[in-house]
Structure 1
């Protein structure tokens, strides 16, 4: 068997996966693209193992180990994406990056401390707030008089 055929196929798979990682904005599609890249590497491992006629079949054993690790990785990745989707309502990578930079949802660039801008003075209290509140009985007495 020629090594060129599976190697070219592996390169094509890897390039498609790389394009998916770089171009896609949905986190699930990015995870699928990473899996495609890992499968391209697995194809290379098996192809070189067959081409070298290794008696121990170490390439195939490493491929099985890689598949097991990739399955665990995709399970954890999908669980994280599902939790983020339930919490934030989106699985877009750009939106998740924005929430990582501004976790409170405030991306106007102002540095706030407890909702109060640090560079603005507090507003002057108004006179109506300064006067004591009249009781309901005194208000009724004034209304009847």
Structure 2
């Protein structure tokens, strides 16, 4: 895990979630975009490889900005260093430099549904155990809480 940045793909929800130290975009949940241009390019690359040609392939695909309706942006004090998402419980949890664990409805970025206190150092890892209905967190001082 790098300093203050994490990214995960949740296949069951077809979303990509990323975090940052930026307060205005601390966590972003984004829908996957159609891959029509990328699929076409992959097809062209496969054709070139199978034909044994050594020509250079000009990639024309450019990243697209996701529409605001296709993403949920969370603004969180001091940003988010770690997060987890549980589809079973419809729960998003975040942790970071402010030593707080925030519980969220993943579809609403307004305010957290709950805040857990107890760490005395920044939180660096957090996980939801949907089988046990528990949250596990680790802080920089090696304290584990659940």
The question of a shared fold, defined as TM-score above 0.5 by the shorter chain, is answered with no
Bigger CA radius of gyration: 1
The structure with the largest helix share of the pair is 1
The structure with the largest strand share of the pair is 2
TM-score (ref. length: structure 1): 0.24
